[in-house]
Amino acid sequence: MSKEYAILPCNGLDKCAGCAAGELAIRLSEETGSEIICPVFYRVADTRYNRIAKEKPLLVIDGCASRCASKLAAEKGLKIVKKVNISEEAKSAGIALKTDSLRLGETEKLLIGNLADRLKTEEDTAESGQETSFFPAQLTYDTYQKDKFMFRIPEEEAFFFNENDVWAYVSGGKARIGVTDYVQQSLSDIMFFTAPNVGAEISQFDEVGSLESGKAVFEIVSPVSGTVTRVNEDLLNEPERINQNPYEQGWIAEIELADFEEDKGLLYDFNGYFPIMKRKVDEFHV
């Protein structure tokens, strides 16, 4: 059975990716009865669209890395159950979007058709993803303090870290990943979270989402390789959870591991990462 969404698309009609986002929204509206939220009118008159967003699960379709639709949803306090980024989907499919024309070609239309077919039947992560049990209920931390800032690192043996300050908690064939206290303290108030796509196959050190604050954009570099099975949907509306606790409430994604024994050789355990983090903190706060 096809799913019905409230759809908030990108309004960047000056780019092919934005046009593709709009075309995908129209196609889903025609084929599933989904309702489109006009991003332009929504900024100035949101009563009607707020009702639509509450009645149906919200699908956000971004065109590119600017994520204008996701940011608008965050500004309005909407709960997003699914996100699609046209540029990222094209990249994953090995498709180069047009740069010299706003008219969609056969390649772009094929991408839209494939995405529409997937979205009509795909389960919503926020609705279907139940809390997994492989992550410990409580963690034990060691800390390093510099001035008024406190940096925590989990001591559990199953935690591993890369030099990009991203952690992985590994259990069996699964891993949960996130950023360390050093990242969230360095970024300060995190305002936006771009999630990886569920089902995406990633290699170790591939980008697996990003964080944005008023200071910088941080690309999340995956410590492990495998397939993304779940993302922390709470961060889409509440990215500040990462500032509150980047390990327990502010985790990023879960991954079905491909070859952790190979990945492990390029990672650090607690004893290896702690001095790296300490050195970075000292240099940053000089």
Nearest-5° Cα angle at 46, 43 to 49: 115
CATH number of this structure's domain 141-284? 2.40.50.100
| Structure confidence at residue 130 (pLDDT) | 39
Question: Which of the four pLDDT bands, split at 50, 70 and 90, describes residue 210?
Answer: very high
Question: Which of the four pLDDT bands, split at 50, 70 and 90, describes residue 12?
Answer: confident
User: Which H/E stretch holds residue 87?
Assistant: helix 86-92
Residue 93 scores a pLDDT above 90? no
Q: Compute the mean pLDDT over every residue in the chain, rounded to the nearest whole number.
A: 89
Predicted structure pTM score? 0.61
CA–CA distance, 247 with 256 (Å, rounded to integer) = 19
For the chain, the domains span 6-128, 141-284
- What would the mean pLDDT of 223-242 be, rounded to a whole number? 92
| Lowest mean per-residue pLDDT among 3-7, 23-27, 217-221 | 3-7
Residue 195 scores a pLDDT above 70? yes
DSSP type of residue 123: P
CA–CA distance, 21 with 70 (Å, rounded to integer) = 13
Six token digits for residue 126: 């926020």
| Structure confidence at residue 2 (pLDDT) | 62
CA–CA distance, 20 with 212 (Å, rounded to integer) = 25
281 to each of 98, 123, 141, 274, how far by Cα in Å? Answer: 43, 41, 17, 11
167 to each of 58, 66, 175, how far by Cα in Å? Answer: 30, 26, 10
Question: Which of the four pLDDT bands, split at 50, 70 and 90, describes residue 133?
Answer: low
Percent of the chain with pLDDT over 70: 95
170 to each of 95, 134, 206, 208, how far by Cα in Å? Answer: 33, 9, 18, 17
| Structure confidence at residue 132 (pLDDT) | 43
Residue 128 scores a pLDDT above 70? no
Question: Which of the four pLDDT bands, split at 50, 70 and 90, describes residue 131?
Answer: very low
Report whether 256 contacts 277 (CB < 8 A).
no
Location of structure tokens 């940053």: 284
CATH of 6-128, one of 3.40.50, 3.30.70, 3.40.640, 2.70.40: 3.40.50
| Structure confidence at residue 123 (pLDDT) | 63
Quick: pLDDT tens for 162-172: 999 999 999 99
Question: Which of the four pLDDT bands, split at 50, 70 and 90, describes residue 228?
Answer: very high
| Structure confidence at residue 245 (pLDDT) | 92
Question: Is residue 276 exposed (0-12), middle (13-18) or buried (19+ Cβ within 10 Å)?
Answer: middle
Question: Is residue 258 exposed (0-12), middle (13-18) or buried (19+ Cβ within 10 Å)?
Answer: middle
Q: Are strands 58-62 and 35-36 parallel, antiparallel or unpaired?
A: unpaired
Report whether 1 contacts 31 (CB < 8 A).
no
Residue 77 scores a pLDDT above 80? no
Counting Cα atoms < 13 Å in the Cβ hemisphere of 5 gives: 32
Measuring CA to CA, which residue among 255, 106, 246 is closest to residue 166? 246
- What would the mean pLDDT of 136-152 be, rounded to a whole number? 90
Quick: pLDDT tens for 34-54: 999 999 988 888 888 888 888
| Structure confidence at residue 81 (pLDDT) | 83
| Lowest mean per-residue pLDDT among 31-35, 65-69, 146-150 | 65-69
Residue 92 scores a pLDDT above 80? yes
